[in-house]
Chains A and B, each alone.
Chain A
Amino acid sequence: MTEIQPVRKLTIIAKDPGLRIGNDGPMVFAQVDVPAEILAPGPTGYRIKVVDYNATERRAYAARQSYQSGDILLDPFAPIEGEALTDRDYQVRVIGNPNFHAQNCYAIAMRTLGLFERALGRRVSWSSGGHQLHIVPHAFALANAFYSEPDRALMFGYFFDEEGKPIFTSLSHDVVAHETTHAVLDGLRSRYTEASGPDQAAFHEGFADIVAILSIFSLPEVVAAGLGITDKLPGVGEPLAFITEDKVTPAAIRDSILLGIGAEIGMATGAGRGALRQSVKLEPRPDILNDPDMAEAHSRGEVVVAAMAGAFVKMWTTRISHLGTFDGLGYNMTAVIEEGAKAAAQLLQMSIRAIDYCPPTDLDFGQFLAGLLTADRELVPDDSRFGYRELVRQSFGDFGIVPPPGQTDGDGCWPHFAASDALRYSRSNAEALTRDVDECFRFLWENRDALNITERGYTQVLSLDASLRIDPDGIPFRETICQYVQMGHFFGSELMAICKIDPLPEGFTTRTSADLFGGGVVVFDQYGRVKYHIGNGLIDGERQKRRLEYLRDNGQLRAQGGDERSRFANLHLARMGG
């Protein structure tokens, strides 16, 4: 009897088909870990269902691969005997098979989902309520790829370059990870796709790029190729390989394909202008977010990416500088790559956990930063060793993103809930409180005064999630994250009387009506007591006024929800059009 394999290896194209070993060498393939499971054709597993239907051709491509033989899990596109991942013939054969594209999407999506589940220590649901997210690797002949919540799907298009060679968006790790992140984030914070201020839609885009970029650093051979190394990395016991100092300067790293998104698509659509996005090259300026051309969601999202990527470059190069150089040879390459992997993993984990500390509606960049800092402080209370938080805060500050003034503490973190003693716990069952949404709602409702939750709307607990942490003694414990939202329909006169918006925004009368959102995150500690309450009040006039003015200026005030698909579809369509 064979031992059950704990994980499955699957072959993917790493980073992007535009990443080559050497100048015009082979693409970089990698074998990555995905959860072990018996896959149905597609591949179809417990979270992802690949359906290779092409609307332009009005036909589907059959899935003909075997993913297991009995209990043995297979990687059908692994190189055969005598072949290597870098062989051109191998690569041509594999790329010519639509089933490989399907596998590529499946593996990258599962890997991306896994990053979230590992960082959060729990399962993350899709927002549709379904368990399997569809992936359509050749959905249509259009230069577009997007996440569509109502279709429970990621759709990847294809187009052709100048020579008529097909460019498949489903072969770009950047693009697949970006779209999967949209879906995962929508599962965590379903209200972030609502019309809000300028930052929220931009955050969806920026966050998706951050995850796409940072998630690649755990693959050493990819990082090596991205740094321009053409040799194979040394294995255990083999002699050291070196990388010269000029290849790991901050400028060189900023320029590298590793911090760009969609190299191949960018080359094919932009007449050779390079990656689709290289946000890290944005020049920091504290007033950059006020630029009129920073209003579009992708452009604005690039600012968060730039801030995060800037922190990453600083972190990595600092860590590299602590490594000794070998006379005339440069740094130990393996160590350089390991330091990059550590820095990326740290920032990625921080970014993902930050979502638990972000308000469920109307997020802005400053609040995300506070969430980042808080999440990290919860994990690593002492920042003095590497000064990560200070570095992140500085990098965001360079772009004018600061923790919400007056609402955060000296570290830029959300403060602990101060009025805990005023809360009434006696009527709640502590065990049920952290497991049952109705029980949790009862607690919020009974304490609405102390928690400053207004009665002037409809309040609902959206989710109750466990957040596992380790105390300084190494003992794991559980905190609970409760997410609640508030909705209310207000007329102009009520905006004045209740929200104290006076004067009303230009263009509003006392009879103008508007839907307002609010809500918060309540973090219960291991004893079931409120530790944080991070929220946006429904009747917070100043904030709601800003939002209404933004919606008015962007013609979204009366936009009926309805067209969920076109939100990401149009956004991404316009973007790839450059």
Chain B
Amino acid sequence: MANPVTATIRAYQMGFGDCFLLSFGYDDASARHILIDFGSTGMPDDTKVSLDAVAADIALQCGGALDIVVATHRHKDHISGFATGADGKGSGDVIRGLKPKRVIQPWTEAPDAPKGWKGPDGTKRANAFAAYQSSLENMHAVAQAVVDRLDRKDGFDPRWRLADRLRFVGEDNIKNLSAVKNLMTMAGAAKNNIFVYHGCVLDLSAILPNVTVHVLGPPTLQQSASIKTYAKSSDDYWLKARLLAALAATDNVSANKTSMLFPDLKSTDTFRKTKLPTEMRWVAERVDIAEQDQMLGIVTALDNVMNNTSVILLFEAGTKKLLFPGDAQLENWSYALQSDMADLLNDVDLYKVGHHGSLNATPKSMWKRFKKRGKTSTPERLKTVMSTMAGKHGGKNGAPTEVPRIPLVNELKADSTLFNTQDLKPTQLCQTITINLQ
């Protein structure tokens, strides 16, 4: 059986998004190609790169056939490229035409609970599984409602300084039906869609010989119940949030002559925002902002929950280890880091920087495990690859929530060889990293 001798990683310009083509070259001159995520929430202004151009390059590089597609989680910035076009010529149609043999996704995308998966108490699995998925659906709906409201003329106070951030996170969390459907069917038979969770056995030897693929995340509900920091995602909470967000997004709630909350009030007993008595104005302005801040808080919370559904894959080929954690954040990592799989991380050779360089997607306790970190002269020095665009996600520059987090970027630069899509020139498609596996 052939052995892999090289790994080539192409990190495409996605603006804020991820798209990596991982190609293994074998000693019999054959190759295997794995596409890990393909999505963007917006390209840099000056780039000439488009999703179509990237799709075309992927087709070219893989010689017209993909072996595996990995969609780490359902965020737009990871799957929007899989959407098909009405004319059959969308970037997702191109990928579909490459006939991937397998599609790998987290268990949260499965139609039914996969084999071996366990609910919080290890028993009521079907119920818990369905409840969790309906939470995710409700989260999409909250995001949708928030974006709808941003679109409405008087939905949010236009002077609110965080409106762009809310729209960005909101849009990233809207359900991307076309991409989801395409992922469900592009590998042909349903059995070719594999839904993974921490510690599950992923046997890809038939299509990816002599490469071991470890699944470090996401944890199942049973596993995540054992770590208390796991994001609270009570089903009932998200159902309520969905109803409230939808209510707040309807035109009538502010446009009606009468109050929806107190329908018996005469219109003369209410004051529209524009006609408030003087003594109410100062605090009313602040209540508006407080409401908007909370919507941002809610959307940020659901964004985190979705990020924590990310598949974390560790490819072991020849003497090397390549780590692709999607957007996994601390809660997802926590389980992997306290499991007996954590030791696998010690000699990672390539690390795809989690969640576009946000602070809590590269937990200190993980980063510290990487033994190959070090100054430029370090032999076999760790390589890191990051796909990001500053100023889109998270807090303002300098805030701990900025993405990418500048102190983290500095550390990546100091202690690893960093490949950053932000450094690509406007005409450049991707960063290319080659790793000798021998």
A interface with B by C-beta (< 8 Å): 44, 49, 51, 53-62, 64, 96-98, 134, 136, 138-144, 148, 151-153, 155, 158-160, 166, 269-271, 292-293, 507, 555, 558-560, 565-566, 569-570, 573-574, 577-578
Contact = CB atoms under 8 A, between A and B. Distances in A.
Contacts of A139: 287, 290-291
Given A61-B270, A570-B297, A560 B399 contact: yes
Contacts of B400: 555, 558-559
B181 interface: no
A158 B248 CA distance: 12
Given A139-B290, A578-B237, A54 B261 contact: yes
A110 B253 CA distance: 32
B280 A51 contact: yes
A155 B290 contact: yes
Main secondary structure of the interface of B (DSSP, over half): helix
Nearest to A141: B244
A53 B280 contact: yes
Interface string B42-86: 000000000000000000000000000000000000000000000
9 A-B pairs with least C-beta separation: A58-B254, A55-B291, A140-B291, A577-B237, A53-B284, A151-B286, A293-B228, A58-B273, A60-B271
Nearest to B149: A56
Contacts of A59: 254, 259, 270-273
21 contacts: A54-B259, A55-B292, A56-B253, A57-B254, A60-B277, A61-B262, A61-B265, A62-B270, A98-B265, A138-B261, A139-B287, A139-B290, A140-B290, A142-B291, A142-B294, A151-B287, A155-B287, A160-B240, A292-B228, A558-B400, A560-B399
A144 to B, nearest CB: 6
Contact of A55 (B244, B287, B399): B287
A152 to B, nearest CB: 7
Given A59-B271, A155-B287, A159-B244, A573 B298 contact: yes
Interface string B247-270: 110000110000111101100111
Interface string B368-412: 000000000000000000000000000000011000000000000
A558 B406 CA distance: 13
Given A159-B240, A569-B297, 13 more contacts: A53-B284, A55-B290, A59-B271, A96-B264, A134-B283, A136-B287, A151-B283, A160-B243, A559-B400, A566-B293, A569-B293, A574-B232, A574-B301
B359 A555 contact: yes
Given A143-B244, A569-B297, A61 B290 contact: no
Contact of A151 (B259, B290, B364): B290
A62 B276 CA distance: 10
A142 B244 contact: yes
Given A56-B247, A140-B287, A148-B290, A158 B261 contact: yes
B343 interface: no
Contacts of B164: none
B27 interface: no
The majority secondary structure among interface residues of chain A is: mixed
A555 B228 CA distance: 17
A153 B286 contact: yes
Contacts of B203: none
A44 B279 CA distance: 10
A98 to B, nearest CB: 5
Tell me which of A53, A97, A151 has the highest count of chain B C-beta atoms within 10 A of its own C-beta.
Answer: A53
B236 interface: yes
B360 A56 contact: no
B161 to A, nearest CB: 12
Contacts of A555: 359-360, 400
A148 B359 CA distance: 27
Interface of B: 154, 228-229, 232, 234, 236-237, 240-241, 243-244, 247-248, 253-254, 259-262, 264-265, 268-273, 276-277, 279-280, 283-284, 286-288, 290-294, 297-298, 301, 359-360, 364, 399-400
Given A53-B287, A139-B287, A158-B261, A269 B236 contact: yes
Contacts of B237: 269, 577-578
Contacts of A271: 236
B394 to A, nearest CB: 13
A271 B399 CA distance: 38
Nearest to A566: B293
Nearest to B286: A151
Nearest to B288: A55
A292 B308 CA distance: 20
B287 A96 contact: no
Contacts of B360: 555
Nearest to A146: B290
Contacts of B264: 96
A151 B291 CA distance: 12
Contact of A57 (B236, B260, B301, B359): B260
Contacts of A166: 261
Contacts of A269: 236-237, 240
Contacts of B262: 61, 96-98
Contacts of B277: 60
B321 to A, nearest CB: 26
Given A58-B273, A269-B237, A565 B290 contact: yes
Contacts of B154: 58
A142 B283 CA distance: 18
A566 B270 contact: no
Given A59-B270, A59-B272, A153-B283, A507 B364 contact: yes
B228 A573 contact: no
Nearest to B271: A60
Nearest to B249: A56
Contact of B291 (A56, A143, A560): A56
B412 to A, nearest CB: 17
A155 B287 CA distance: 8
Nearest to B407: A558
A505 to B, nearest CB: 13
A195 to B, nearest CB: 12
Contacts of A136: 283, 287
Contacts of B359: 555
Contacts of A138: 261
B259 to A, nearest CB: 6
B287 A153 contact: yes
Nearest to A552: B364
Nearest to B296: A566
A53 B228 CA distance: 38
Given A141-B247, A151-B283, A153-B287, A57 B253 contact: yes
Given A51-B283, A56-B291, A61 B259 contact: yes
A507 B294 CA distance: 33
A266 to B, nearest CB: 12
A289 to B, nearest CB: 15
Contacts of A142: 244, 291, 294
Nearest to A293: B228
A151 B399 CA distance: 22
Which of A55, A136, A160, A565 has the largest number of chain B CB atoms within 10 A?
A: A55
A570 B293 CA distance: 9
A52 to B, nearest CB: 8
A143 B240 CA distance: 8
A262 B359 CA distance: 36
A138 B287 CA distance: 10
A270 B276 CA distance: 36
A51 B265 CA distance: 17
A53 B290 CA distance: 12
A136 B286 CA distance: 11
Contacts of A98: 261-262, 265
Nearest to A292: B228
Contacts of B288: 55, 58
A136 B287 CA distance: 8
A224 B125 CA distance: 44
A57, A159, A271 — most chain B CB neighbours (10 Å): A57
Contacts of B284: 51, 53, 55, 60
Query: Which of B259, B264, B294 has the most CB atoms of chain A within a 10 A radius of its CB?
Result: B294
